[in-house]
Structure 1
Amino acid sequence: MSLSAVTPHRARLGEGPFWDAPTQALYWVDIAARQALRLMGGQLQVWQLPEHVSAFIPCERGDALVTLSSGVYRLDLATEALTLLCVADPKAGNRGNEARCDAQGRLWLGTMQNNIGEQGEDLPITRRSGGLFRIDTDATVTRLLNGLGIPNTLLWNEAGSQVHFGDSMDGTLYQHSIQADGQLGAAQAWFGPHTRGGPDGSAMDAEGFIWNARWDGSCLLRLTPSGAVDRIIELPVSRPTSCVFGGPELTTLYITSAASPLNHPLDGAVLAIEVDVPGKPCHRFAG
């Protein structure tokens, strides 16, 4: 497998890749640099935001959602105007981290104690104050989980009856059943911990296998539906953070990464790799 960086841009903390099939565009963020980025038609566009941003997801009505420290906002891509959609997590000192939309176009947002200073420096995490929230298209917020450390990975099965969700502080990926009332069943440990780094973001392929980025592990793990390691994909970056399937046939895997003390040349790049199985598509916010 040959890997390449899709742009010369290097993020301090690249995260949240999203592939928009209708426009064939890749969206992602640099949390520490407060940037939302889009690569479309070979052109990179950067939106500089006033706060740390953990996700950048297009909406069906033409604008996009950005998950900032103070709340979830709509971003007008032309004027750069921000409009508050909701404050999902009211706890002071928390920020958004993982965010994805389910097949119904509802945003799921995992939050955590803020660990990034005003200059982008690392701050210690001293409490498990995060939560998992679902934001419906009318901006209604439903709290689903409490007491989270570092939420990462949000993936649903085909039937929408189960969600994979990870907490990097535990080194573990979990499964939760989704009950009839929309609440989640008890966490079932599904994978981890593992010697190749900690679990970060993930993508699911058409066979139901999960491709999990391994922070400080320099690799992706492809995991079977039963939670076994199918293969290890070695990467030329120290801290891969997440991945998403894109391209015309959803066979290009885009991988975000972060800077590291090792200063590898590609640390912070978005990498692209062609794979032998297509992935599942991303869903826009339906509102």
Structure 2
Amino acid sequence: MSCNAVTAHRAQLGEGPFWDVPSQALYWVDIAGKQALRLTGDRLQAWHLPEHASAFIPCASGDALLTMSSGVYRLDLASEPQAPRLTLLCVADPQPGNRGNEARCDALGRLWLGTMQNNIGEHGEDLPVLRRCGGLFRVDPDARVTRLLQGLGIPNTLLWNDEATHVHFGDSLDGTLYRYPIQTDGQLGPAKVWFGPHGRGGPDGSAMDVEGYIWNARWDGSCLLRLSPEGAVDRVIELPVSRPTSCVFGGPDLTTLYITSAASPLNHPLDGAVLAIEVDIPGKACHRFAG
């Protein structure tokens, strides 16, 4: 598969890719670099943020959500990149010293946000994760917050089946992707191990294709794994970056796979780039926040 960088931008910690079908635009963040980025055609916009943000998700109301260290904020997309207009929506996780990490919206437009102990210093340097103090929270369009899980290390991957009867959710400290049943009251049942540790890096973010297969980015593994609904490796997609962090299906037919990545000590030329590859299976579309 041919692979190319979609812009010259290189992130310290690129994450959270989101493809917006109505606007045909790609959203993502540089967590360590405190940037929210949007690519529409050839036009790249980068908002400079006052703190780390882990996801950048457009809203039905026309603005966008940013899952930032101190809470979930709305960003006025008409504001200037050097002076973003931010409005607090809610504080999902009140635990001091935590930050958001994985975040996606389900088919009902509700934000699901995984949090963790902050592991990024003020200048983007790595800090050790010493506590399993993170959680998983659901934020409804009216800003009501529901805690779903606690005691998490590094939450990564949030994907639902079409019937919304289970969610795939991972913890990178365990090197494992889990499957949780979604109960009728909206809470989660006991986790089942779906895909455990693998020799090609640790599990990071993922995307799902129309066949229900999960494409999982492998931190320090220089690849994606395409995993069957049963949790078996279907194929390995080699990548020219050391630390792919997540992926999303985009393009007019949802057959372009966009892959975010992070800088690494190996200093490969494309580390930190957003990559694009054409694949033979369309993906499932992202959902905007319904608020």
> TM-score category by the smaller chain?
over 0.9
What percentage of aligned pairs have identical amino acids?
A: 81
Residue 3 of structure 1 and its aligned partner are, at CA, apart by 0.2
Query: 1:191, CA displacement in angstroms?
Result: 0.1
Tell me which amino acid in the other structure corresponds to 2:3.
L
Match of 2:150 in 1: 146
1:21, 1:77 → 2: CA distance?
A: 17
Q: Determine the C-alpha separation between the residues in 1 that align with 2:123 and 2:211.
A: 42
Establish whether residue 11 from structure 1 lines up as the match of residue 11 from structure 2: yes
Partner of 1:239: 243
After TM superposition, the runs of 4+ consecutive aligned structure 1 residues lying more than 6 A away are: none
Partner of 1:55: 55
Q: Which residue of 2 aligns with 1:87?
A: 91
After TM superposition, give the deviation of residue 36 of structure 1 in Å.
0.2
Q: Which TM-score applies when normalising by structure 2?
A: 0.98
Out of 65-74 and 79-88, give the one that drifted further: 79-88
User: Partner amino acid for 1:60?
Assistant: A
Cα distance in 1, alignment partners of residues 171 and 33 from structure 2: 23
Supply the distance in 2 between the matched residues of 1:183 and 1:51 (Cα, whole angstroms): 31
User: In structure 1, how many angstroms separate the alpha carbons of the residues matched to 2:158 and 2:129?
Assistant: 21
1:27 aligns with 2:27: yes
Task: Quote how far apart the aligned CAs of 1:209 are.
Answer: 0.1
Task: Work out the CA distance in 1 between the residues paired with 2:47 and 2:147.
Answer: 29
What SS does the aligned partner of 2:287 have?
A: coil
- Which residues of structure 1 form unaligned runs of 5+? none
Deviation, structure 1 residue 133: 0.1
Distance 1:249 1:124 in 2: 41
Deviation at 1:42, TM superposition (A): 1.0
Give the match for residue 284 of structure 2.
280
CA deviation after TM superposition for structure 1 residue 192, in Å:
1.4
Residue in 2 that maps onto 1:218: 222
User: 1:91-135: per-residue Cα shift (whole Å, max 9, x none)?
Assistant: 000000000000000000000000000010011111000000000
Shift of 1:41: 1.9
Separation in 1, partners of 2:32, 2:159: 24
Residue aligning to 1:264: 268
1:75-224 superposed matches below 5 A: 75-79=75-79, 80-224=84-228
Could you report, residue by residue, the CA deviation over 1:127-186 in whole angstroms, capped at 9, with x for unpaired residues? 000000000000000000000000000000010110000000000000000000000001
Aligned to 2:65: 65
1:55-103 C-alpha deviation (Å, 9 max, x unpaired):
0000001000000000000000112210000000000000000000000
- Report the Cα distance in structure 2 between the residues aligned to 1:75 and 1:286, rounded to whole angstroms: 15
Query: What's the CA shift string for 1:229-287, capped at 9, x where partnerless?
Result: 00000000000000000000000000000000000000000000000000000000000
Deviations 1:175-232 (A, max 9, x none): 0000000000011000010000000000000000000000000000000000000000
Amino acid at match of 1:108: W
Partners of 1:41 and 1:3 in 2: CA distance: 18
